[in-house]
Structure 1
């Protein structure tokens, strides 16, 4: 269904349908047309009943925008898109598109019966409740949603795994959709947020230079094994005068670590890595390389190698 902008300034139904992508509550529709007209339009097939209390001013399959409107309208007043759904609508890439996450006030119960009877062309909806949702955490958008910072904090708390939580926070900051400072401000306002300490530590790592999940895992590894904190994404000029960025670098001891993701398997990336590695070696520094999966799967092995390299370079653990 294609919605056009009403050219009649006195057409409230047309404007409301346009503003809400053709999705209306039954109360909205009957308030403008009366219950009899609404019933006739549904029975004739001109309109479609999506679920109890929600109508589509057409009879086609639901688009993505319409599914989002159904999610917030079906769950009642003051419902907003939240978590990964709100973050994705704000432009954060790489997040799960389904299910749709909705946040409602803790004092109100969303219609679970309604959500169990959604049509097959509608994504599943997960309802979360909160007692803390200040105006500062709401984005002026349609459909209504939380700010990107609040969305990512909630998404991290609702994530299935710790790695997924960290990856979502890293994605939002790396893609410049939100800053670590904005996330810190949200977490300060949510003293009971799930994984609150994890969120704070992750954004601290991001603010310190970590841009990928592998680098965040690497910093956690260093902390757990009593190793000194390296500089991340350290800028260095190579022999040809070009700027190079080192994943992790201990300047005092001349130890450099590269964390290789899947892109390092590309031939061009591999050649560039070799040139960068040669520049580091010829400058006298030690260089270690670990695949990202090894940092996560075998942290003790990585830490042992790091410790030996740092000790050989002159580092002495604090006694």
Structure 2
């Protein structure tokens, strides 16, 4: 059956099925429906408003992706999901880092109007065509641009994790990050991103022994008990362990070269260790060298809690 010969509601459902159950007023008008026909479907409950001129078709139980796409649709055809919500869509954030759905980040071209939209944080800026992407049917900022936007306000620790995850998942490359920072030279995000890239590249050439020596020096300088270095647990070599407390530390000095298979191997190692009753802490070279107080505070807290539980 051709689309032209289909009942209007069938055509609406077909389009919505490709858009997480959503359709816009503009699309409905493009199908030939009059404003009166649209109002009638609203009254019947077939079209349920989500945002101004955006409707859920035949339901109001949108998925997470549907709610994000609805926010993008509400901001016009050139809008993109962006910032923390784009990072979540790309899989760059851990589950506990997912942003609130009460306010969804959307970026539109600078020339777009200034109207406000409930439940949407609208960012207005220049969007080069190379920084546009589509993921699971949702227009979104490209991975490198997403990292740049996050760099305007994210902590160094979060920004490092986001970059690491995006590289591991092969959503971007280091040259792409440098190119994005250069494209937006002068912006707050570009400065933060360049600083992080410089820090990570500075430690990329460290040998394992150099990183381990620096970590041990930080531990001793804080007066913590010496760990056993390069010890084996359940057939796995670990960088540092406190056996009595059953606390292990893994040091990452290879972030730029970390592959998906290496990342999955690390996760399997951690699962095995946790199943055996070990608490696994992971620190990057940048953290050891540039955030020693945070690393030691974190580690001290874990060791103290382990001792209270009867580990030592």
- Indicate whether the TM-score tops 0.5: yes
Distance 1:151 1:167 in 2: 13
Does structure 1 conserve the Cα–Cα contact (< 8 Å) formed by 2:21 and 2:62?
no
Say which of 128, 134, 141 aligns to 1:134: 128
Does structure 2 conserve the Cα–Cα contact (< 8 Å) formed by 1:170 and 1:206?
no
User: Secondary structure of the equivalent of 2:171?
Assistant: coil
Distance 1:65 1:272 in 2: 41
- Match runs of 1:134-283 below 5 Å: 134-141=128-135, 142-159=137-154, 161-208=155-202, 231-232=205-206, 234=207, 245-246=208-209, 248=211, 255=213, 257=215, 268=233, 272-273=237-238
Per-residue deviation, residues 262-286 of structure 1 (Å, max 9, x unmatched): xx9xx94898437899xxxxxxxxx
CA shift in 2, pair 1:272/1:193, >3 Å = same
CA shift in 2, pair 1:88/1:63, >3 Å = same
Confirm whether residue 72 of structure 1 aligns to residue 76 of structure 2.
no
Distance 1:67 1:110 in 2: 22
- Match runs of 1:98-137 below 5 Å: 98=100, 99-112=103-116, 115-116=117-118, 124-131=119-126, 133-137=127-131
User: Secondary structure of the equivalent of 1:43?
Assistant: helix
Shift of 1:145: 1.1
Shift of 1:172: 2.3
User: Secondary structure of the equivalent of 1:157?
Assistant: coil
Distance 2:3 2:189 in 1: 49
The alignment yields a C-alpha RMSD, in angstroms, of: 3.7
Shift of 1:185: 0.6
TM-score by length of 1: 0.61
Distance 1:63 1:186 in 2: 31
TM-score by length of 2: 0.62
Distance 1:110 1:55 in 2: 22
CA shift in 2, pair 1:61/1:199, >3 Å = same
Shift of 1:126: 1.7
Shift of 1:199: 0.9
Distance 1:43 1:77 in 2: 26
Does structure 2 conserve the Cα–Cα contact (< 8 Å) formed by 1:79 and 1:105?
yes
Distance 2:108 2:198 in 1: 29
Distance 1:88 1:59 in 2: 25
Unaligned 5+ residue runs, structure 1? 1-6, 117-123, 211-230, 235-244, 250-254, 278-289, 303-319
CA shift in 2, pair 1:201/1:170, >3 Å = farther
The size of the alignment, in residue pairs, is 232
Unaligned 5+ residue runs, structure 2? 220-226, 243-280, 298-312
Quick check: which has more Rg, 1 or 2? 1
Shift of 1:144: 1.0
Does structure 1 conserve the Cα–Cα contact (< 8 Å) formed by 2:12 and 2:23?
no
Return structure 1 stretches of 4+ with deviation > 6 angstroms.
274-277
Distance 1:291 1:27 in 2: 50
Shift of 1:147: 0.9
Distance 1:189 1:298 in 2: 35
